[in-house]
Chain A
Amino acid sequence: MKKSLKPWIGTGTTLIMAATFVAGCGSASNTTQETVKPSAAATAAATTAAGAKPFAGKTISLVTANHPWADAIKPLLPDFEKETGIKVNVESFFEDQLTQKLTVQFTSGSATPDVFMYRPLQEGKLFFKNGWVQPLDDYAKKDANYDFNDFSKSAIGSTTVDAKLAGIPIITEQEILYYRKDLLEKAGIAVPKTLDELQAAVKKLHDPKNEMYGFVARGQRSPLVTQVSSFLYSEGADFTNGDKATINTPEAVKAFTTYGTLLKDYAPPGVLNMSWPQAFGIFAQGKVAFLTDANSLYNNAIDPAKSQVADKVGFAVFPGGKAGSKPYSITSWGLAMNAKSGNKDATWAFIQWATSKDVVLKTQQKGNPGARTSVWDKPEGTTGFPAALVPIIKESAKAGVDHDRPTVISVGEARDAVGEIVQKLMTGETNIQPVADKANQALQTIMDKDKTK
C-alpha cells in the first residue's frame, strides 16, 4: 500500500517546491529609482477642461487612512471623474492597518495602490529609501497654475527626502494647550504662557480627592514621543543635531523631566497606558484641568456628543520654555505615488487635482488643515474650524518646528528608545541622567545603522 503511494507523494512535493522557488525568489530587483518625465498630457488633465481628457476610461486606486480628509475628498471624486474621465477606486483603513497593507503590497512589488496617504514623518523616509514612492519634483513644477510655491516651506520640507519630493502635504497640525476655562476663572489663574506658569497652575488646580487632576497627556511609550517634542524644542533641545543623537543634553533632560513629573504627580492614575483616546476621554469627562496634544484632536474636547465639558474648553498656544514657545508644526499626512504604478500620469492628474487650490479650500472648509498658504489667508479658508482655534493655529505655525519625532529612517525603533526616558520618570526614577545616556546611545546606534541604508 505504502509503496504504491510513495512516488505519488514524491512527485507532488517536488512540483510544489519547484513552483514555490519560481514564485518566491524575492521581489528585490536591482533597479535604481527612475525619474519619470511626465508627458505633456498629464499637466493638461486637471486644469484644462477644454475637452482634453487623455486618460478617459482609466482607473486608479487610492488608499487612504480613516481620516476626515478622506471623508471630505470622497464626495468630490465624482467631480474629478467628470472632469478627467478617470475613475478612482478608494479604500480606507485605520492607521496601523494602512501601514500593514501598504507594507505587504509594496514588499510584493504590487502596482496598486496607485496613490496613497502616508505619514511623512513616520514612514516617509523609509518608503522613499525602499524605492516605494515616485519622486514628484518634475510633476509638481511643470504646471504654473498648480502654484507649487503656495505650499508652506516647512510642509514641503517634511515631504522632501534626499532633496527629492516624496509626496504632497495634505494635512498639517501643531501641538497646543487645551485648558478648562471655568476652572482657571474660578481660581483666578491666567492662561499659562510659560512652562513654569503651567506647572504652577497645574499644581494649584490638582485636587485628586475631588477627582480633579491637574494635567494629562500621552503616557504610552511611543505615542508620547511626538507630544513631548514641543517640550524639548521649547527648552532649546532636539532629538538629533546633524548626525548626533542629543536626547541626553541638559536641556533635553530638563524637558523630559518636566513632562515626566507632570504625568507622575498630577495626572490621573493609569496614565502609563494612555494614548490620546484615553487622555481626551478623561479630559472630556471633566476630570482634568490641562491637556497638551495635537490641535487636530479638538473635536474630542468640544463636541457635545463626546464631551461633558464641551463649552468650557479653551485653546492656547503651547507654553514657552527657555527658548520660547516652540511647538511642533508638522505635516501629518501626505499623498504619494506608488513607484510601480502603471498609470503614473493619470495618478499625478489625481494628486494635482486633490491638492489644487480649489479642492484644498473645499477640504479645509470641512475642518482639514491643509498646507497651502493662500488658502489659510482667505477668510473662507478658516470657517471649518472653531473660531477660537484659528488664531492659535496661525500663531503656532509661525514659530513651529517642522518635525515632532527623530528624523531618522527607523522611526519606530527611535520612538521606542526615546519614550523609555519619560516612562522611567513616570514610574519614579529620580536619577534620570544615566537612563537618558543609555537611550541616547541606543538612538545613536539606530542613526548609525540608518546611514548604511
Chain B
Amino acid sequence: MIKKKGQGKRFLQTLLTFLVLIVFAFPFVWMLLASFKTQAQILSTGQLFVFKPTFHNYVAVFKEYDFLKFIWNSFVVAFGSTLLSLILGLPAAYAIARHHLQKLGLLILVARIIPGITFLIPWFILFSKIHLVDTYTALILSHMLVGLPFIIWIMISFFEALPTEIEESALIDGCTHHQVFLRIIMPISGPGVITSSLLSFIFSWNNFMFSIILAGDKTKTLPIAVFNFMSYSEINWGALMAAACIITLPVLLIALVSQRYVVSGLAAGAVKG
C-alpha cells in the first residue's frame, strides 16, 4: 500500500515537473526554432515545428562585425560588477543581519526603488565630466547599483536564517568576529551566494538602458546587438532570434555549472544541541 502511494506520488511529481518544463521552455523553444527559419516561415502558423531550416540567420549574426567583442564586453562588465558587488555586499549583508541595521539596509534598497530612467541624464553628465563614458568602469559601477542591493538583501535573509549557535561556539573557541565571518559563515553560505550572484550576473548581462547611454564604441554590450536587427524598414526576425539565442548561451552554461555548488543541508553536525 505504501509502495503504491509512493509510486503514485512520484508519478504525479514527474508529470508536474514535465508540465512546468514545457510551459516555461516553450517560448524559448519557439525562439530557437525561429532562429532557423526565414521571416516568412516565422510568421506562418503552418510551419511551427515542420519546416525547412536555414543557417542564414546565424551567419548574419556572426558577420555582424564585433559580435565577439560584444560578448567579451558583456562578460567583463557582468563579471566585474558581480564580483565587486559580492565584495562590498557580503560583509554588509552579514553586519546588517546580525546587528539589525535596518535603516542602512533600507538605504541600500532605495537604490533599487528608484526608476532606472532617473539615472540616465545625471549619470551621463557626471561620467562625461570625469571622462569615463565608454569605459568598463562606468558600466560596472552602474550595473553594480542594480546587483548590489539584490545580493545584499537576499543574503540578509540567508544570514538571518542561520542559527547563531555556530558563531557563538566559534567565538568561545577564540575566533574573532572577522574570522567567524570569513572562515565559518562564508563556507556554508554557498547556496545563497551562488544564487544571488547568478541573478546579479543575469541582470547585468541583460541590462540595456544603462548600456545604451554609458557605453560607446569600445564597450558596447550584447543587448544592443539584438537591436541591430531592428531597422527602420524591416525587422530581421530570424537574425534577431539567432542573436538572442547566442546571447543566452554563455549565461546558461554558467548557470548549469554553478548549480552543482548549491549543496543541500547545513554543515551537518556542526552544531548538535
Interface segment out of the listed B116-124, B147-155, B168-176, B244-252:
B116-124
- Is A104 within 8 A of B121, CB to CB? yes
- Is A306 within 8 A of B234, CB to CB? yes
In the complex, what distance in Å separates the CA atom of A100 from the CA atom of B214?
12
- Is A306 within 8 A of B38, CB to CB? yes
Pick the contact of A277: B120, B122, B216, B235 (CB < 8 A): B235
- Residue with the greatest number of chain A CB neighbours at <10 A, chosen from B124, B125, B128, B233: B233
Residues of B bordering A, CB below 8 Å: 38-40, 43-44, 120-122, 124-126, 128-129, 212-213, 216-217, 224, 227-235
- Is A299 within 8 A of B125, CB to CB? no
A–B Cβ pairs within 8 angstroms, 20 of them: A89-B217, A91-B216, A91-B217, A93-B227, A95-B232, A97-B227, A100-B212, A104-B120, A104-B213, A110-B124, A277-B235, A284-B39, A285-B43, A285-B44, A297-B234, A303-B39, A304-B40, A306-B39, A306-B40, A307-B39
- Is A308 within 8 A of B44, CB to CB? yes
What residues of A have a CB within 8 angstroms of the CB of B124 in the complex? 104-105, 108, 110
**Digit string of A97-117 for contact with B (CB within 8 Å is 1, else 0)?**
100110011011010000000
In the complex, what distance in Å separates the CA atom of A23 from the CA atom of B130?
10
Interface segment out of the listed A65-73, A225-233, A420-428:
A65-73
- Is A307 within 8 A of B40, CB to CB? yes
Q: Nearest residue in A to B122 (C-beta to C-beta)?
A: A24
Give the A-B contact count at a CB cut-off of 8 A.
86
- Is B125 within 8 A of A24, CB to CB? yes
What residues of A have a CB within 8 angstroms of the CB of B39 in the complex? 284, 303, 305-307
Pick the contact of A67: B129, B212, B231, B235 (CB < 8 A): B231
What residues of B have a CB within 8 angstroms of the CB of A297 in the complex? 233-234
Residues of A bordering B, CB below 8 Å: 23-24, 27, 65-68, 89, 91-95, 97, 100-101, 104-105, 107-108, 110, 277, 281-282, 284-285, 294, 296-297, 299-300, 303-308, 332-333
- Is B231 within 8 A of A65, CB to CB? yes
- Is B216 within 8 A of A97, CB to CB? no
What residues of B have a CB within 8 angstroms of the CB of A91 in the complex? 216-217
What residues of B have a CB within 8 angstroms of the CB of A281 in the complex? 43
> B51: shortest Cβ distance to chain A, in Å?
13
> A283: shortest Cβ distance to chain B, in Å?
10
**CB-CB nearest 6 A-B residue pairs:** A66-B231, A306-B39, A94-B227, A67-B232, A305-B38, A108-B125
In the complex, what distance in Å separates the CA atom of A100 from the CA atom of B120?
10
In the complex, what distance in Å separates the CA atom of A282 from the CA atom of B229?
20
What residues of A have a CB within 8 angstroms of the CB of B231 in the complex? 65-68, 94
> B126: shortest Cβ distance to chain A, in Å?
6
Q: Nearest residue in B to A306 (C-beta to C-beta)?
A: B39
In the complex, what distance in Å separates the CA atom of A285 from the CA atom of B216?
39
> A243: shortest Cβ distance to chain B, in Å?
32
In the complex, what distance in Å separates the CA atom of A107 from the CA atom of B125?
9
What residues of B have a CB within 8 angstroms of the CB of A89 in the complex? 217
What residues of B have a CB within 8 angstroms of the CB of A110 in the complex? 124, 128
> B74: shortest Cβ distance to chain A, in Å?
17
> B152: shortest Cβ distance to chain A, in Å?
19
In the complex, what distance in Å separates the CA atom of A304 from the CA atom of B38?
9
In the complex, what distance in Å separates the CA atom of A24 from the CA atom of B228?
33
What residues of A have a CB within 8 angstroms of the CB of B217 in the complex? 89, 91
